[in-house]
Amino acid sequence: MKLIGSNTSEVINAVKKELATINDNLPKGIEVQPYYDQATLVKAAVSTVINALLQGIILVALVLLAFMGGLRPSLVVALSIPFSVGFTFLAMKFFGISANLMSLGGIAIAIGMMVDGAVVVVENVDRMLRESSPDESRLHIVARACQAVARPILFAISIIIIVFLPLFTLQGVEGATFRPLAYTVAVAMLGSLIFALVVAPVTSLLLMKRPQKQDDKPRKDIISFLMKGYQPMVQLMVARRWIAVTVAGVVLAVGIAVAPFLGSEFVPRLNEGDLLIRATMAPSISLEKAEDTITVFERQLKKAFPEVTQVVSRIGRGEVGAHADPVNNAEIFVSLKPQEEWVSAESLDGLYAAMSKKFENFPGAKFNFTQPIAAAVDELLTGTKAELAAKLFGDDLDVLAKQAQAIEQVMRTVPGAQDVQRDQIGGTPQLRITLNRNAIARYGLNVSDVQKTLSVAVGGSEAGQVFEGIRRFDIYVRLEKKSRDEADVIRQLIIENDAGQRIPLEELANIEEVVGPRQITRENNQRFITIQTNVRERDIGSFVAEADAAIAEQVDLPPGYFLKWGGQFELQQQANKRLMIVVPITLGLVFLMLYANFNSLRNALLIMLNIPLALVGGIVGLWLSGQSLSVPASVGFIALFGIALENGLVLVSYLNELVRDGVPVAEASVRAACSRLRAVIMTAVTTALGLFPLLFASGTGSEVQRPLATVVVGGLVTATLLTLLVLPALYQWFADKPADIGASH
């Protein structure tokens, strides 16, 4: 077993080296071969996110070249990417964070945001170089331009870093999964802040030049083209503020209408490339019969599904690992061809459904179709062997079994339920031996004498050791297997007392054959039985709601018996409960930072209006793409908070600057919006395009990153709409007096 905190790839590589040494020392014709290698999955997942990272860098660089209107400004901004990425890798090395799906995914998410600070700096430097007097030195112009935007950039990027604080509070599997992402995003944004405030001014001075004023022709680039349509629109919005309010209201109404149709789940299922099939057989089955049953299943599986390349089964599970399993449980590892070569189904869910239907009536066994890592996570964290489990708590095992059967029947009728099974708590043949203490005393024996005889006969007793070279092996003596399985032999066991009398065990105890419980499970010192299921082609949240209502209506639980949902639903609820506490606290902290920056309650409230409209875009994006609200989607919303507030902060800062200089509020709203159009559009487009590779990726691990990218890209659409059209129009209601603005600065 891999130790907690150790690196998976390093451990597997070390095992492979040792395995090669072992194979060299084995007899001829014998070789140990691995049938499941988790390093393959790790490499595939890391490869997916690295490809997305590289594609994102290329897309962002192309956008910079197209929007900056020149090679030199584009180069200054583009330099922030290698600087921030290098800064992040150094920090990962220092803090011991490995390069994995989530840590590299954090860098991929931050790619578009890394350039935001540099974009604002370079855009302001470029504007001032064009508008400044020919007598003013370039050094003074660059210094003045950088100083004007330094404070908004500092607060804007600091806010992005702060909004990721909730991810550091996550516990359990969700914390282990998403904390590396939060670390790398925060560190990458810190690197971009250092570049924007320290490196960008220097490189701007070295690379950017004052344009030659040969004529007064306007710049011809994408922003100039967009400005022709944008300027009249923003003028209309500022003059007719009710239009802006209506637009914002309609967008919010759409979000409110769509939100109830979103499903919910913990984390989208990761396609691991292999399957794990769990077989449950009769509790009384022998090892030989279990082996025969699983062998028949293996042959039928390979014959029915050409996608299967290898099948390896393990019957039972030893007591050394995390969980012991009796011989009526088997785990079948199934290796598959690449998905593009599948013929039985086009998707993983389709393959699950086909296999489940094929073996639904397989004699002597029930099957649960899952994946190796998913199965391990489900069992280790919640004790279940499926995605979802209903735990029925109560005192009486017979009542538990009866009610569990009724719940199982109801659950099978709920759409989406697959591989529904309840725990086998009974059906195990047992030989119950109840000692007769009076009879034992009458023959002059002690209870321990009888118990010791039974222990030696059935369990065995050490009688010596055998030496082979330097190795030694204990010798155990007990009845042969055939005798141990015969109740009559046990009844005739002889116990001798001090008087030399030889008394058979049946004279000293009541011996009867019964069918008893196979296992008794407890949680918080309460007995429970589990009814488990996998959920296919729908989200877990809506399934639990429908199943819970159906069970409450159709199953009448006795007093003292209650149902609790576990599995991934339980993990989802725990994560949501923590985020519901931490996210509002974080937003409150962000509001305080905005107030500290502007010294204005009105300005802070105006910028915070970005958040509801940004949420609408994320919600609609999930709905249109058919995805559910999950922990990765929640991480996307958290990232969206910071991104949505950033542009609003920069725009309001410039609005205040114009009003402070005596420009009327209406005119300042239009001028500021038009002046900041390039910066706002570029930060939105670079962030969105940086996430496009994750949005459309199809490799291993993309399932986890896609909801996050969908939320951010969708939210950027509505957040940018608010920043460019609604926010300038509403500024007049939220603006402070020029004297108050001057005092605050």
Of the candidate ranges 85-99, 292-306, 365-379, 456-470, the one whose mean pLDDT is the lowest: 365-379
Alpha-carbon distance of 346 to 321, in angstroms, equals: 36
Tens-digit pLDDT profile for residues 641-687: 888 887 788 788 888 888 888 888 888 888 888 887 887 888 788 88
CB-CB contact of 113 with 189 (8 Å): yes
610 within domain boundaries: yes
Q: For 538-557, how does the pLDDT look when each residue is reduced to its tens digit (9 = 90+)?
A: 888 889 989 999 998 998 98
The confidence band for 292, taking pLDDT boundaries of 50, 70 and 90, is very high
Would strands 308-317 and 274-281 be described as parallel, antiparallel, or unpaired?
unpaired
Segment 135-156 shows an average pLDDT of 85
Give the CATH number of the domain where residue 304 resides.
3.30.70.1430
What is the CATH number for 449? 3.30.2090.10
Residue 324 corresponds to which tokens in the numbers above?
């012991």
Q: Are residues 75 and 185 in the same domain?
A: yes
384, 566 contact by CB (below 8 A): yes
Neighbouring CB atoms inside 10 A of 148's CB total 17
pLDDT of residue 406: 92
Task: Indicate whether 384 and 491 sit together in one domain.
Answer: no
Do 475 and 447 fall into the same domain? yes
This model's pTM is above 0.85 = no
Residue 118 lies in a domain: yes
Taking the C-alpha atoms of residue 634 and residue 628, their distance in angstroms, rounded to an integer, is 10
Same domain, 306 and 405: yes
Taking only the tens place, the pLDDT of each residue in 551-600 is: 989 989 899 899 988 877 887 888 888 888 888 888 888 888 888 878 88
Contact residues for 578 (Cβ-Cβ < 8 A; gap 6+): 166, 169, 170, 171
Q: Which helix (H) or strand (E) is 29 found in, with range?
A: none
Q: Let me know: does 394 contact 560? Beta carbons within 8 Å.
A: yes
- Does some domain include residue 5? no
Q: Which residues pair with 314 in a beta bridge?
A: 331
Q: What is the pLDDT of residues 194-247, one digit of tens each?
A: 999 999 899 888 888 876 654 455 556 677 778 888 888 888 888 888 888 888
410 and 447 in a single domain? The answer is no
Cα–Cα distance between 266 and 607 in angstroms, integer?
Answer: 31
Q: Are both 114 and 202 inside the same structural domain? A: yes
* Res 214: pLDDT: 47
Query: Beta strands 562-567 and 388-393: pairing type?
Result: antiparallel
Of the listed ranges 147-151, 221-225, 741-745, the one predicted with least confidence: 741-745
Chain mean pLDDT for the chain: 84
pLDDT of 191: 92
CA nearest to 655, candidates 614, 607, 609: 607
Domain residues for the domain of 542 are 274-414+536-571
Rounded to the nearest 10 degrees, the angle between the axes of helix 116-131 and helix 101-114 is 10
pLDDT at 300: 92
Do 473 and 562 sit in the same domain of this protein?
no
Tens digit of each residue's pLDDT (9 = 90 or more) over 506-517:
899 998 888 877
Residue 447 lies in a domain: yes
Q: Are 528 and 400 in contact (CB under 8 A)?
A: yes
Q: Are residues 498 and 386 in the same domain?
A: no
Question: 347 and 291, same structural domain?
Answer: yes
Query: What residues form DSSP beta bridges with 513?
Result: 431
Strands (E), 128-265: none
- How many C-beta atoms lie closer than 10 Å to residue 20's C-beta? 10
Q: What share of the chain is helix, strand, coil (3-state, %, to 5)?
A: 65, 15, 25
Same domain, 151 and 242: yes
Tell me the CA end-to-end span of the chain in Å, nearest whole number: 60
- CA angle, corner 46, sides to 44 and 50, nearest 5? 115
Mean pLDDT of 280-305: 89
For 357-363, what is the mean pLDDT? 88
Whether the Cβ atoms of residue 268 and residue 348 lie closer than 8 Å to each other: no
Tokens representing residue 589 in the block: 């902290």
Q: Are residues 541 and 615 in the same domain?
A: no
Lowest mean pLDDT among 465-479, 609-623, 640-654: 640-654
Percent over 70 (pLDDT), the chain? 95
- The residue that leads in pLDDT, 221 or 315, is 315
Residues making up the chain, counted from first to last: 745
Binning pLDDT at 50, 70 and 90, where does residue 519 land? confident
Q: How many domains does the chain have?
A: 3
Tell me which of 122-131, 190-199, 423-432 is least confident. 423-432
pLDDT band at 190 (very low <50, low <70, confident <90, very high): very high
Whether 722 and 609 have beta carbons less than 8 Å apart is answered as yes
DSSP H or E segment with residue 42: helix 38-68
Residue 466 lies in a domain: yes
- Does residue 1 belong to any structural domain of this protein? no
With tokens 């009076």, the residue in question is 438
Residue located via tokens 């005739």: 492
Q: Are residues 477 and 333 in the same domain?
A: no
The answer as to whether 25 is a domain residue is: no
pLDDT for 217 = 54
707 domain-assigned: yes
Question: Does the pLDDT at position 178 exceed 50?
Answer: yes
Share above pLDDT 90 across residues of the chain, in percent, rounded to a whole number:
9
3-state SS assignment for residue 324: coil
Mean per-residue pLDDT for 412-424?
A: 86
Residue 647 is predicted with a pLDDT of 76
CA separation for the pair 540, 572 (Å, rounded): 10
C-alpha R_g of the chain: 34
Average pLDDT over residues 430-435: 88
Is the torsion defined by CA of 180, 182, 185, 190 positive or negative?
Answer: negative
Distance of CA 736 to the CA centre of its chain: 44
CATH number at residue 681: 1.20.1640.10
Single-letter residue type at 658: L
**Largest separation between any pair of C-alpha atoms in the chain:** 126
More confident residue, 308 or 99: 308
